[in-house]
Amino acid sequence: MAICDTCGNDYDKAFTVSWPDGRSATFDSVECAAMQLAPECAHCGCRILGHGIETEEAMFCCAHCARKDSNADVNDRWPVPAGG
């Protein structure tokens, strides 16, 4: 069994993520992996698990947060719905 680097759980189905530079980390769930590996939205603080929105200043989980926290002229979809 392996110990999760995030929560400390000793789990028989844990997995290890390795980087080319030799670093590695062990997790018992995707949730624990995301807590350590996924970047945080600069506006709301949630973990960015998808593509997100990146400006020159920061990374955001969605266009709404990017607009609220920067001058980014971005939308989550095209064409932009009426009123949005």
pLDDT at 9 over 60: yes
Quickly state the pLDDT bin for 65 (edges 50, 70, 90): very high
Q: Tell me what percent of the residues of the chain surpass a pLDDT of 90.
A: 71
Calculate mean pLDDT across residues 56-69. Answer: 92
Q: Where are the domains of the chain?
A: 1-37, 39-78
At 67-80, the pLDDT tens digits run: 998 888 887 777 76
Please identify which residue in the block is written with the tokens 């392996």: 2
- C-alpha–C-alpha distance, residues 22 and 35, integer Å: 20
Q: Tell me what percent of the residues of the chain surpass a pLDDT of 70.
A: 94
